[in-house]
Amino acid sequence: MRTNTPSLKSINKRRFCSFSILVIGVIILAILGLILGSVNIPLSEIWKIIIGSSNSNTSWHTIVMDIRVPRTLTALLAGAGIGLSGLQMQTLFRNPLADPFVLGISSGASLGVALIVLTVGSAGAIFGSGLGFFENLSLAISAIIGSAIVLFIVLIIAERVRNAVTILIVGLMVGYLVSAIVMLLVAWSEPQQLSRFVIWGFGSFRSVTWDELGILAPVLVVGFLIAGSILKPLNALLLGEDYAKSLGINIRTLRIATMAGSSLLAGIVTAFCGPIAFIGVATPHIARAIFKTSDHRILVPAVILSGAIIAMVAEIVAQLPGSNSVLPLNAVTSLLGAPVVVIVLLRSRLGAFTG
């Protein structure tokens, strides 16, 4: 027996430890997200406010309940969602660099958002502050449809082109194309809507209201459930489409489910948080590095947890603890994520899916 090959038992033990650490990480970062901010509020007081037994001043109450809790919840959910979307796309395209942002799926969602914000929005409601439920819903649907359409187009092209890098370039081009349409909309829009749209484009978890969370959270849960229902066929897809077919998997159904799931996740997050860069591509690689497996039964929960962690870290870094200024979220995620992409590119032979 080789000594450098761990037994199944020790692998399971190590995986259990890794999962425990990730869960603890999520909890600690969530608490940090509640504590950190321009106003100092003691943790005990925050807890009292959350469980509703506090009689402290109303400004603290507002800060905690209307800013910090939704902000933290959004970062947690959106990070998990965008990470999972990235994992599904990497398996679907058999491409280690696929993710909603890189493949232009987020641009599709942006177009959906721009159509609502820059045209319909001009009828009166102002984006980001006090859209009604139906406006929010139409924003979400529009973004999801936009991302689904772009994903569909890129997937059709990927059918013909097998090379991983070419598909990335195609994704970029489709992204530019969609951005061009967005630019036209921008050119015709009012300055006030425009500035809102530009700020939305920086990406942010802090602008999401409870009303918006009411749409974001259930849709994300549906996306998680879809991913959970196709763990086994996604694994089989790792062997390649022909082998998956020979194992009795219906490729067409699997593709539709994966596409629906990942564009739902990417679309809804983009609708409310803006196009979030690099979390989608980086998270699956980090999860694979931690658990040393390509098995989706391990990776899906791992990506959900580590995506939440990465998003919360990015959010905390973006608000520059101790200062009053806030960085654009995408500046932070790009700083963290772009090196990961470069490392993956350098380590894998181009064009090969090495996971």
Partner 1 sequence: MQTSDSLLRTNSLKIGYRYRRKSHTILSNINLIAKNGEFICLLGRNGSGKSTFLRTLAGMQKELEGTIYLNENSLKAFSNREKAKRIAVVLTERLQIGAMRGRDIVEFGRYPHTGWLGKLTPVDHKKVQHALEDVGATHLANREINQLSDGERQRLIIARALAQEPELMLLDEPSAFLDAPGRIELAILLRNLAHKRKITVIAATHDLDISLRTSDTIWLITEHQRIESGSPEDLIASNSISKAFSDEKTEFDNLKRTFKPKQTNHQKVYVEGEGEPFELAQSVLERTGWEVVFSPHESKIQVSIKSDGTWRATAADFEEIGKNFSELASIAQKLIVHET
Instruction: Calculate the CA 274 to chain-centre distance.
Output: 10
Annotate 192-227 with three-state secondary structure.
HHHHHHHHHHHCCCCCCCHHHHHHHHHHHHHHHHHH
Q: Which of 186, 199, 231, 340 forms a contact with partner 1 (CB under 8 A)?
A: 231
342 binds partner 1 (CB under 8 A): no
Rg (CA), the chain: 21
Q: Which of 210, 225, 256, 297 forms a contact with partner 1 (CB under 8 A)?
A: 297
| Nearer CB in complex with partner 1: 256/352 | 352
| Nearer CB in complex with partner 1: 195/253 | 253
Residue owning tokens 């497996």? 293
Site residues for partner 1, 239-258, by CB under 8 A, read 239-240, 242-243, 245-250
| Nearer CB in complex with partner 1: 183/239 | 239
Q: Which of 50, 65, 199, 238 forms a contact with partner 1 (CB under 8 A)?
A: 238
Q: Which of 19, 125, 199, 295 forms a contact with partner 1 (CB under 8 A)?
A: 295
Q: Which of 54, 138, 209, 293 forms a contact with partner 1 (CB under 8 A)?
A: 293
CB 18 to partner 1: min, Å: 14
Angle between helices 8-35 and 43-51 (to 10 degrees): 90
| Nearer CB in complex with partner 1: 159/242 | 242
User: How many amino acids of this chain bind partner 1 (CB under 8 A)?
Assistant: 31
CB 6 to partner 1: min, Å: 8
Q: Long-range contacts: 21-27, Cβ < 8 Å, 24+?
A: 22/290, 22/302, 22/305, 22/306, 22/309, 23/305, 25/305, 25/309, 26/76, 26/305, 26/308, 26/309, 26/312
5 binds partner 1 (CB under 8 A): yes
Q: Which of 54, 166, 179, 294 forms a contact with partner 1 (CB under 8 A)?
A: 294
Structure tokens at 171: 């994704």
292 binds partner 1 (CB under 8 A): yes
| Nearer CB in complex with partner 1: 20/246 | 246
Q: Which of 24, 133, 229, 321 forms a contact with partner 1 (CB under 8 A)?
A: 229
Separation in Å, CA 81 to CA 88, 218, 220, 277: 11, 12, 6, 13
288 binds partner 1 (CB under 8 A): yes
Residue owning tokens 């699997």? 254
| Nearer CB in complex with partner 1: 181/231 | 231
Q: How many C-alpha atoms does 168 have within 13 Å on its Cβ side?
A: 17
Site residues for partner 1, 72-111, by CB under 8 A, read 94
Q: For residues 226 and 92, is the Cβ–Cβ distance under 8 A?
A: no
Longest CA pairwise span in the chain (Å): 73
Site residues for partner 1, 255-274, by CB under 8 A, read none
Contacts of 14 (CB under 8 A, 6+ apart): 6
Q: Which residues bind partner 1 (CB under 8 A)?
A: 2, 5-7, 94, 229, 231-232, 235-236, 238-240, 242-243, 245-250, 288, 292-295, 297, 352-355
